[in-house]
Structures are given as structure tokens and as C-alpha cells.
Amino acid sequence: MSAKSIIMKRVFLLTMSLAVLIFTLVNLVACGTKEQEGVYNINFSAESPNPKQGKSVLIISASPRRGGNTDTLCDEFMRGAQEAGAKVEKISLEDYKIEFFREIDTYMQPDSVAKATARDDAHIVINKMLRADVIVLASPVYYYNIDGQMKTLIDRTYYAFMQMKDKEFFYITACADTENASSDGVVEGFRGFVRCLPNPTERGMVKALGMGRKDGVKNSVYMQQAYELGKGV
């Protein structure tokens, strides 16, 4: 190989390396959230993409502990959202009989769906989800993940999840650990569902840490966080 072609090759390699470096830096600096969007197929925005006034908000509290940490944060979110003029409904999954997903739930013909939905209350909650503009998913951390009540509901949305279009989501969770990463599994659990829906937007979350006691969240900073998120609905 001649000296000229060796130099040309080196210049080419150097140029390519610089281009890759610049591309990586620009992406890292400019769009942390874009990176997330690519991974999740979720729009991430603290602002609502929906200019509608008086949005309908559904808060789904999956904790079996009424008046516990998750539930109390849901109440604070509700207070904020009501003050902001939203139509808010908060439900506790404790009040609904929701069975595990079964094989019959995979058949999507209308008569099968009717049969499958008749056996319990899942469709009542799912209809509320379909009607809501904004959905708050709230679950305590159970073994680094969402609790069974929330997961069972999510599985049962199978016949309707493709109709859950353009929804906005907030997440609420509480755990005993003080490590921020301890509730990541819950966020992943919520996102695993949300990313499957058409055009969802994730608006924000409250991760209450160090909540080993039932009323631990009262007088904590998380109350204000939940209230503010609700206010900005």
C-alpha cells in the first residue's frame, strides 16, 4: 500500500470516529428523554399534550391497605386534580373482584369477550380506563415490583388495551427501602403496560421511599409532590 493511501485511510477513519463521537455527544446532551422514548414507545412530558379543560382522571389504587401510603398519596393527587378543575374518580381495587387472566381471555370475538367479561368486575374498571383522559396507576412495592392486584388488572386489559389511545399516565408508589432504585421495578411494571398502548404520554410520578409504616407518608414531602402532580393535571 502506498504512503498516500495509508494517509487517506487514516484520515477516513479519524473522520468517521469524530462523526460517531459528535453524534453520541449530541444525543446524550440534547435528548435524554428521546432515548427513553426510543426504548419505551412512550411520550415523556411533564406538560399535558391535551388542551381539554376539565379532563377526566381515573386514579387506580392497588394497595390492599386503605389509608396506607399509596392510598394516601392517591388522595393527595385527587385533591390537587380536583382543585385544578378535573373530574376525578378514585377507585380501590379492593372493591372489585378481578380474577387472573385465563385462556378464554385470549379470544377477542365479541361473544367471547362478553363471556369472559361477565365473570367478574374487571370490565367495570377497564371501561373506566377507556373513558378516562388521565390514568393514575398506584401500587406499593411488593418484592421490587407492582403488587398482584395491579398486575392482574393489567393482564385483564388484553381485550381492550389497543383502544386505550392517547391516554396520559401518572405513577404512584411507596416502599420501605430508602434506596431510590428499590421502586424501579414498579415503574418498569407500569411502563411495560403503558408502552403497549397507542400513543401514551407519561406525565410524572411519586416514588415514596422509607415508607415502612402504614402512615409513614403523612407529613412527608411526598404528600406535596402528589398534590402538585394532581394540580398540574
Ligand X SMILES: Cc1cc2nc3c(=O)[nH]c(=O)nc-3n(C[C@H](O)[C@H](O)[C@H](O)COP(=O)(O)O)c2cc1C
Gap between the Cα atoms of 39 and 61, Å rounded: 27
Pick the closer one to ligand X by CB: 80 or 140. Answer: 140
Pick the closer one to ligand X by CB: 173 or 201. Answer: 173
Pick the closer one to ligand X by CB: 48 or 182. Answer: 182
- Nearest distance in Å: CB 173, ligand X: 8
**Partners of residue 171 on adjacent β-strands:** 137, 205
- Nearest distance in Å: CB 79, ligand X: 17
- Nearest distance in Å: CB 82, ligand X: 21
- Nearest distance in Å: CB 40, ligand X: 23
- Nearest distance in Å: CB 142, ligand X: 4
Gap between the Cα atoms of 213 and 159, Å rounded: 37
Pick the closer one to ligand X by CB: 40 or 144. Answer: 144
Residue 203, C-beta contacts closer than 8 angstroms, at least 6 positions apart: 45, 46, 47, 48, 134, 168, 169, 170, 229, 232, 233
Pick the closer one to ligand X by CB: 72 or 201. Answer: 72
Closest CA to 206 of 183, 231, 176, 233: 183
The residue ranges that bind ligand X (CB under 6 A) are: 63, 65, 68-71, 140-144, 174-177, 182, 211-212, 214
